[in-house]
Amino acid sequence: MKKYLAIILALVMVFALAACGGGGGSGDVTKDNIKIGVVHIGPLADQGYTYNHHIGAEKMISNLGLRSDQYIPKFDAGVDPAKVTNSINELIQEGCHIIFATSFSHQNQMIEAARENPNVVFAHATGTNAIDAGLDNYHNYFAKIHEARYLGGIAAGLRTETNVLGYVAAHPFAEVISGFTAFYLGALSVNPDVTMEVIYIDSWGDPPLEQQVATRLIELGADVIAQHSDSATPAIAAQERGAWHVGYNNDMRSAAPDASMLSPRIDWSIYMTLAVDNLLNGKKTPVDWGEGLASGAAFITELNTSIVAPGTADAIEAAKAKIISGELKIFSGHLVDNDGNNAKITGYGDPAPLIYEFTGPDSHFAESAGPSAPSFNAIIKGINIIS
Amino acid sequence: MEGFAVVDFFFMAVIAATPLLFATLGEILTQKSGSLNLGVEGMMFMGAAAGVAASYIYEATVGDATLGFVSAILAVLIGFLAGALGGLIYSVLTVTFRANQNVTGLALTIFGIGAGNLVGELLGIRAGGFTTVAEDTKRMFSSISIPWLSDIPVIGRLFFSYNFMVYLAIITAIVLMWIFNKTRVGLNLRGVGESPATADAVGINVTRYKYIAAIVGGGICGLGGVFISMADNSGTWIFNCIAGRGWIAVALVIFAAWRPSRAIIGALLFGGLSVLRLYLPIDGIPAQVYNILPFVATILVLIFTSIRQSKEHSQPKSCGINYFREER
């Protein structure tokens, strides 16, 4: 009996110690002691999403004049819940005061950790549930990338000769649909005859499949390929077949010098700097944060001036100024679906709740104004989903 | 959308099938010697990265004197050698040190993916962006054009307009078929795979056969990687470019019943099914259903072959088991 008691006591002490060790972030947070953790979905070498988020974090460190060892990245956390939870817990153990997570699929683990660790701030990119969670230490953030995609669409609309665009799309989610619709509306704003073919790859990235899909879109008559997928293989397919291309996440000109016109991109450092700075100064960070072209959180990479259509740079500049001033609203007007009915934005659930309906020429939907994650998920006229 | 574009579909199916065919042939050769090497994915990554690296470094070294032909040969050769290195590592561990074959193969996969992406990343840092090869080299890996043959309508596009590696894959299959069925070496190799003890007793050098089969087999798997990085991706390093194709090849070996001739058909079928959705989308059938079709086919083949109990067309008997002469 004594033996068991001893074991139980020992266990209690171990757990007590662990409890003391955890929940870092107590005491004053200063520039000197702050630690910032980031749970990255992929490895640094991915040439895309994770790399982009990593340089955002590095820029935040230099913006705030912190030391590089104060940024603790956990790469390749993936989407497996146990692994994500481990990564978050490790960051808490290391005494991080604020933890960022980069993937939508980290949502449940992040909110769980936020409930258990009220002293640590949790900021989750692309997530949707902070607005309803009511936690002081849990925020969502995203960039209004659709604004940058709209500008990419302008380049595509001016460039196309067949008036058919092709889009390599990841998943049939609002995040993707909002992006390709903004791209299409950008093209439509300069070219009323343009239509767009879309094929989903059903993953965030599968390089050979992305390439095959892009090739197929070109066979179907598309001469500008755009993408919401991780790799540069759509750019390479466009290059091989003499088409043009609008990328994502990375400047793809070096992979496809005669095809890649520009890439919409996110500068994550804007939000990361704000969130960390607010924590240092004891200020509140908005529950949902989403900014776009105005602050540079969404931007386009340098134009490939040797291949874009004449006048592209001016058209993009003009549209950019109007988007920033609020004069140009992207999801506006009487948008209809392919059957001619009013386009409807719906939420999750069964039956899906109606979020917004485009009823007339004055309709407009302010994307990412409420929840920072995109919600536009209507398929509008002119866009043909192939598969 | 217009009707089913048969010619375009077939062309794309062949391009999708070729890396699978290389990897399947490499794995068939390896398994014929009684070694179950699950490291196909890793060896493909090693081949893919080494191919790009070879071309890139050669071009950076000789500068303007670059010959596309030499650069392409180097990519294929070094890619083959990188895959062969994977096969050598596997052989040393399983044949000499008698490590568990499954574990070694899985470890080789993890190692190969890491090594391939590391080499690709280092090249990317050196190139300051995406690593890509010279135009002349890219042209070597683009579709060939044979005078008048390639110009025949339909037939020309269907048979005479692929890049040279597609034909190399088919030649490899034919050569393997000939070796397995018509030569002494092939007979010995099959003997080693079926019963190493018997082969040993009749004086066949089991160790040598196992080493050579795994090394050459690994090299052929590496060529599958070279196809993806050099032909599909035009000599540009793309992170994670193999993306699971090696695992499909492992399933294909079973589908092909360890026969190179059937590997050609199987690879074409798997390649075709993987792009079928793009050419023949049916409303209401989700992408996931298309994606599982090759594996449903594999399971059906497994069921049928086990019902038929064909000894000739099943896995070599000693596959997965290391040979200890002392335990005979």
Q: How many CA atoms lie within 13 A of B165 on its CB side?
A: 36
For residue B41, tell me if it sits in a domain: yes
Asked if A387 lies within 8 A of B287 by C-beta distance, the reply is yes
Q: Residue B218's pLDDT is what?
A: 98
Sheet of A71-74, strands arranged across: A71-74, A36-39, A98-101, A121-125, A138-143, A288-291
For residue B314, tell me if it sits in a domain: no
Positive or negative, the CA dihedral A332, A338, A344, A347 is negative
φ, ψ dihedrals at B120, nearest 5°: -60, -40
Number of independent structural domains in chain B: 1
**Distance, in angstroms, between B321 CA and closest chain A CA?**
33
Which SS3 state, helix, strand or coil, does residue A53 take?
helix
Q: Residue A12's pLDDT is what?
A: 61
Q: How far apart are CA B253 and CA A337, in angstroms?
A: 47
φ, ψ dihedrals at A276, nearest 5°: -70, -40
Surface-to-core class of residue A135, CB atoms within 10 Å of its CB (0-12 exposed, 13-18 middle, 19+ buried) = middle
For residue B160, tell me if it sits in a domain: yes
For residue B265, tell me if it sits in a domain: yes
pLDDT in tens, B59-89: 999 988 889 999 999 999 999 999 999 999 9
Cis (ω within 30 of 0) for the bond into B147?
Answer: no
Q: Which of A208, A215, A387 sits opposite B277 (nearest CB)?
A: A387
pLDDT in tens, B199-245: 999 999 999 999 999 999 999 999 999 999 999 999 999 999 999 99
Q: How far apart are CA A63 and CA B46, in angstroms?
A: 39
Listed as ranges, residues in chain B with pLDDT below 70 are 1-3, 328
Q: How far apart are CA B127 and CA B59, in angstroms?
A: 12
Q: How far apart are CA B323 and CA B101, in angstroms?
A: 11
Q: Residue B302's pLDDT is what?
A: 80
**Assigned token pair, B255:** 């589908």
Chain A residues in contact with B278 by the CB 8 A cut-off are 199, 212-213, 216, 386-387
Q: How far apart are CA B48 and CA A269, in angstroms?
A: 34
For B248, the domain range is: 3-308
Q: Residues 244-283, chain A: which have Cβ within 8 Å of B?
A: 251-255
For residue B74, tell me if it sits in a domain: yes
For residue B322, tell me if it sits in a domain: no
A-B Cβ pairs (cutoff 8 Å, strict):
98
Beta bridge partners of A266: A298
How high is the ipTM of this complex?
A: 0.93
Q: How far apart are CA A107 and CA A105, in angstroms?
A: 5
Chain B residues in contact with A251 by the CB 8 A cut-off are 129
Q: How far apart are CA B46 and CA B50, in angstroms?
A: 6
Q: Which of A206, A255, A384 sits opposite B132 (nearest CB)?
A: A255
Give average pLDDT by consecutive 10-residue segment, chain A, 387 residues: 65 55 58 96 88 95 96 93 96 96 94 95 93 92 96 98 97 94 98 97 92 96 96 96 95 94 97 96 93 96 96 97 96 95 89 92 90 92 94
For residue B216, tell me if it sits in a domain: yes
Q: How far apart are CA A347 and CA A339, in angstroms?
A: 21
**Assigned token pair, B121:** 């990343």
For residue B49, tell me if it sits in a domain: yes
Regarding beta strands A121-125 and A98-101, do their DSSP bridges make them parallel or antiparallel, or are they unpaired? Answer: parallel
Q: How many CA atoms lie within 13 A of B184 on its CB side?
A: 1
A212 in B contact zone (CB under 8 Å): yes
**Assigned token pair, B88:** 């050598």
Amino acid identity at B238? I
Q: Residue B316's pLDDT is what?
A: 92
Which SS3 state, helix, strand or coil, does residue A100 take?
strand
Give A57's contacts (C-beta < 8 A, 6+ positions apart): A36, A38, A71, A73, A100, A268, A269, A272
Tracing tokens 């280092």 back to the chain, one arrives at B122
Give the C-alpha distances (Å, rounded to integers) separating B74 from A235, B171, B304.
25, 19, 43
Amino acid identity at A280? L
B281 in A contact zone (CB under 8 Å): yes
Tracing tokens 């074959």 back to the chain, one arrives at B101
Chain B residues in contact with A255 by the CB 8 A cut-off are 129-130, 132, 236
A49 in B contact zone (CB under 8 Å): no
Q: Residue A23's pLDDT is what?
A: 42
Asked if A251 lies within 8 A of B129 by C-beta distance, the reply is yes
